Chains A and B, each alone.
Chain A
């Protein structure tokens, strides 16, 4: 029983990372109807930005955290303005290829930057390697602070996002854009600028995910491949749904963690993909997805 709870907690923690990256997909998908295949690689860039701020800049963790969020917001907005806005109105495949190219480019460029390079770096977070016990020490449930930090930060971030979309002018403008771009434009919402801000927001979320994930997987150029497991999370939750992304991420994380323990070796890595295939065959719209039909 303790074993099971243990697995569920560590699965939930990784699931939260998937959820955060999936949240990034979902925001961009909802607003612009494009899928950002570079999301994982943007997260990787965020990890390196945070790392540089801490080790090269000598900043404490919290300051580095803020620096990462600011830099990643600008990065996302810049990417949108430079390469994605010219493709506005082009078929989805064109945009998908563009984001794939962006990710491919990011992986290449990061290894060429001095100090970042191809090595694996450790992010010196304050809670590194700390654990605490629930129940009796030595017998009860052991929770590493890294995992707890991820869960708490994700819950806080989602709550913050919820409040942002619900109560701020910009958040409501973003909702309007995601529901109907043309109508939003007629209502005087600067749709292009809103799209740019959404890319910024989504990249910033990835930056946060990177800093949370870094103590577990370290920072390296291929860190972004975690992003590929966020696709299943987004699909399971229903691609256009924010709570769906969270639930999907948790499901994928926990399934992965349990199958790593109870199933033969090898299943852990593909569990997420098996789940998504089953989901696509059984219920393509996901748990929280809207039923979409194309009008002719």
Chain B
């Protein structure tokens, strides 16, 4: 069993808590670098998607998992990023600038969407973000001269400094690098006063406010950052797909993003990566498993939503911490073997806390 003996305050905020973590993350980094040499082109493309979705989920995790604000309109931010990138690319902007602009535009939209969050919370906020999601989608459809409307919009090949990033391997490296940077950025943010304020707001708005945290400011920041991450992911998504239409950024997309985050495990950075990874792997398993099923079942379009619906319900019922929680239990089991007890992670039963007071 492993004990962590802290001798300095710096250890409290250290990125890696002990040597073992350094070792495993180094191994992960090596695996990410080596992946193009080991995987087929198709598998690599799926990994690129996981990277892109990990960035959105990271943003959504920051907002929902760490700040406690629900967003049912996150696909709208994705759309803002994707279309900004597409438009700026056609204007001849270099990628670095247009990516920054995508993040900025999405972030500013995030601030606008966050404004109602200052007055309303809980379900009202969920409905406000839902409304914004629909409005953004409709705006994208109507702004035809920029977005191409329902007919969609084609993107040029992505070339940075003479290197062709349309190639699967190069693009995989680009997405992975940006995703790693985003993860590090969010990790750093969460160790800073801002991140601590987010968590405090999530746990109790009233006590956070009593501690001198400016709710309005931090909620707006959370929305802006979350949307900016979605904007970056949207830009990367646009280049990956190279043909974007408004219906890729509809309500279902928002729901699926939220599902990924919940399946991955709310309130953990790892969960934001486990979620999309699990999603895409299960999707592939379904594609492969389809042929083994009887055609009456396997060829149905409803098969995939059904399976993901069941998974989500199972996760919410039995594993509220998601895949990350499952991993945490498994790790604890190994660490303290053979002293693991069934009730160690038992959910606390609580009485219904009413928001209504008369």
Interface residues of A (CB under 8 A from B): 29, 33, 35, 83, 86-90, 92-94, 96-98, 100-102, 104-112, 114, 118, 180-182, 221, 225, 228, 231-232, 235, 239-240, 265-266, 269-270, 272-274, 276-277, 280-281, 284, 290, 292-296
Contact of A235 among B127, B138, B251, B358 (CB under 8 A): B127
> In the assembled complex, which residues on chain B have CB atoms less than 8 Å from the CB atom of A284?
119-120, 124
Contact A270 B130 (CB under 8 A): no
> In the assembled complex, which residues on chain A have CB atoms less than 8 Å from the CB atom of B296?
114
Contact A181 B352 (CB under 8 A): yes
A-B contact pairs, 22 of them (CB 8 A): A89-B350, A89-B352, A92-B122, A93-B266, A96-B70, A101-B309, A104-B312, A105-B305, A105-B313, A108-B308, A110-B302, A111-B302, A112-B306, A225-B251, A228-B251, A265-B142, A266-B142, A277-B116, A277-B128, A280-B127, A284-B120, A296-B206
Q: A33 with B262: in contact, given A232-B131, A269-B134, A280-B120 (CB under 8 Å)?
A: no
B310 at the interface (CB under 8 A from A): yes
Contact B262 A97 (CB under 8 A): yes
Contact A280 B313 (CB under 8 A): no
Count of A-B contacts judged by CB separation below 8 Å: 156
CA distance A94 to B123 in the complex (A): 12
Contact A294 B206 (CB under 8 A): yes
Contact of B306 among A108, A273, A293 (CB under 8 A): A108
Question: What distance in Å separates the Cβ of A182 from its nearest Cβ neighbour in chain B?
Answer: 8
Q: A111 with B300: in contact, given A89-B350, A102-B313 (CB under 8 Å)?
A: yes
CA distance A284 to B298 in the complex (A): 47
Contact A277 B131 (CB under 8 A): yes
CA distance A93 to B355 in the complex (A): 13
B288 at the interface (CB under 8 A from A): no
CA distance A104 to B351 in the complex (A): 28
CA distance A225 to B351 in the complex (A): 33
> In the assembled complex, which residues on chain B have CB atoms less than 8 Å from the CB atom of A180?
354
Interface residues on chain B, number (Cβ under 8 Å): 56
Docked complex: B268-313 residues within 8 A CB-CB of A:
296-297, 300-310, 312-313
> In the assembled complex, which residues on chain B have CB atoms less than 8 Å from the CB atom of A107?
302, 305
Contact A89 B310 (CB under 8 A): no
Q: Per-residue 0/1 for B229-267: is the Cβ within 8 Å of any A Cβ (1 yes, 0 no)? A: 000000000000000000000010001001100100010
Looking across the interface, which residue of chain B has its beta carbon closest to that of A231?
Answer: B127
Contact B354 A33 (CB under 8 A): yes
Contact of A292 among B115, B349, B356 (CB under 8 A): B356
Looking across the interface, which residue of chain B has its beta carbon closest to that of A267?
Answer: B138
> In the assembled complex, which residues on chain B have CB atoms less than 8 Å from the CB atom of A94?
316, 320
Interface residues of B (CB under 8 A from A): 64, 68, 70, 115-116, 119-120, 122-124, 126-128, 130-132, 134-135, 138, 141-142, 206, 251, 255, 258-259, 262, 266, 296-297, 300-310, 312-313, 316-317, 320, 347, 349-352, 354-358
Contact of A105 among B132, B206, B310, B357 (CB under 8 A): B310
Contact B308 A104 (CB under 8 A): yes
Which of A87, A105, A240 is the most central at the interface, judged by chain B CB atoms within 10 Å of its CB?
A105
Contact B357 A294 (CB under 8 A): yes
Contact of A290 among B128, B255, B358 (CB under 8 A): B358
> In the assembled complex, which residues on chain A have CB atoms less than 8 Å from the CB atom of B297?
112
Looking across the interface, which residue of chain A has its beta carbon closest to that of B141?
Answer: A266
> In the assembled complex, which residues on chain A have CB atoms less than 8 Å from the CB atom of B142?
265-266
Contact B127 A109 (CB under 8 A): no
Q: Which secondary structure characterizes the binding site on chain A?
A: helix
Contact A277 B357 (CB under 8 A): no
> In the assembled complex, which residues on chain B have CB atoms less than 8 Å from the CB atom of A232?
127, 131
Question: What distance in Å separates the Cβ of B219 from its nearest Cβ neighbour in chain A?
Answer: 15
Q: A108 with B355: in contact, given A94-B316, A100-B259, A280-B128 (CB under 8 Å)?
A: no
CA distance A235 to B127 in the complex (A): 9
Contact A104 B255 (CB under 8 A): yes
CA distance A98 to B350 in the complex (A): 18
Contact B312 A97 (CB under 8 A): yes
Looking across the interface, which residue of chain B has its beta carbon closest to that of A111?
Answer: B302
> In the assembled complex, which residues on chain A have CB atoms less than 8 Å from the CB atom of B303?
108, 112
Closest 7 CB pairs of A and B: A105-B309, A108-B305, A111-B302, A273-B131, A108-B306, A101-B312, A112-B302
Looking across the interface, which residue of chain B has its beta carbon closest to that of A92?
Answer: B122
Looking across the interface, which residue of chain B has its beta carbon closest to that of A114?
Answer: B296
Question: What distance in Å separates the Cβ of B286 from its nearest Cβ neighbour in chain A?
Answer: 12
> In the assembled complex, which residues on chain B have CB atoms less than 8 Å from the CB atom of A83?
313, 317
> In the assembled complex, which residues on chain B have CB atoms less than 8 Å from the CB atom of A90?
320, 347, 350
> In the assembled complex, which residues on chain B have CB atoms less than 8 Å from the CB atom of A269?
134, 138
Contact of B355 among A87, A102, A112, A294 (CB under 8 A): A294
CA distance A114 to B302 in the complex (A): 12
Contact B128 A270 (CB under 8 A): no
Contact A281 B357 (CB under 8 A): no
Contact of B123 among A35, A274, A295 (CB under 8 A): A35
Other contacts beyond A107-B305, A272-B131: 19, CB < 8 A: A29-B123, A89-B349, A89-B352, A92-B122, A94-B316, A100-B312, A105-B310, A107-B302, A110-B302, A228-B134, A232-B127, A240-B356, A273-B131, A280-B127, A281-B115, A292-B355, A293-B357, A295-B357, A296-B206
Contact B355 A101 (CB under 8 A): no
Question: What distance in Å separates the Cβ of A140 from its nearest Cβ neighbour in chain B?
Answer: 35
Contact A270 B357 (CB under 8 A): no
> In the assembled complex, which residues on chain B have CB atoms less than 8 Å from the CB atom of A29?
123
Contact A270 B134 (CB under 8 A): yes
CA distance A220 to B43 in the complex (A): 35
Question: What distance in Å separates the Cβ of B313 from its nearest Cβ neighbour in chain A?
Answer: 5
CA distance A225 to B146 in the complex (A): 28
> In the assembled complex, which residues on chain A have CB atoms less than 8 Å from the CB atom of B301?
111, 118
> In the assembled complex, which residues on chain A have CB atoms less than 8 Å from the CB atom of B308?
104, 108
CA distance A99 to B27 in the complex (A): 39
Contact A92 B123 (CB under 8 A): yes
> In the assembled complex, which residues on chain A have CB atoms less than 8 Å from the CB atom of B119?
280-281, 284
CA distance A280 to B128 in the complex (A): 8
